[in-house]
Structure 1
Amino acid sequence: MTETNSRRRRAGGIILLACVIIAVILFVLANLGVIAAGLFMLLLLALIVVGIICLGIAFFAIPMYIMKDTTVEPGTYELDEVAPVNKGNDH
């Protein structure tokens, strides 16, 4: 008897889940235009936020680059004076 009830419960749950999935699919298909407009607005908002961030970075980075002082240490930069790190020994 309990085995029959549990089978009925599982079957009822599967049928209920199928009905919910079908209802969600029908809702999405019925409101496809609204969903597409909402996604477009989210994409537009994301592009605006990224643009503002890029402008903010440029606003701070360009003056810092202009004000940067280039210093060169006196000495030679010849490659002949560079010593190898491992001196010919491979691992």
Structure 2
Amino acid sequence: MPAMIELRAFMGLADTFRERNWDNPKTVAVTGEMTGEEFLAMLDLSPDAVEVFFVNGKAFTPDLAVVTGGDRVALAPQGVPGPYRVLLGFKKMG
């Protein structure tokens, strides 16, 4: 049975959401557990466009992220400037 994920996008990915007429945050139905890469494929977003997944406030690279219903997920694009990396909590990831 599908469960919902609350999905937010930062910076340039927020522009993609607007271009697709998606809400930000967007509610996404998922069934079971998905890897970050599977989740991006379901959304038709390039893995190269996303540097960081935030799952319930914790930062992961797309290849290490795992999402499931009830999670709060945010996506940050490649190339986030240094000060924002600190504010968002993923300075040491790249």
Q: Give the TM-score normalised by structure 2.
A: 0.13
TM-score (norm 1): 0.13
Question: Which structure has more strand as a fraction of its residues?
Answer: 2
Taking CA–CA contacts closer than 8 Å with sequence separation of 6 or more, which of the two structures ends up with the larger relative contact order?
2
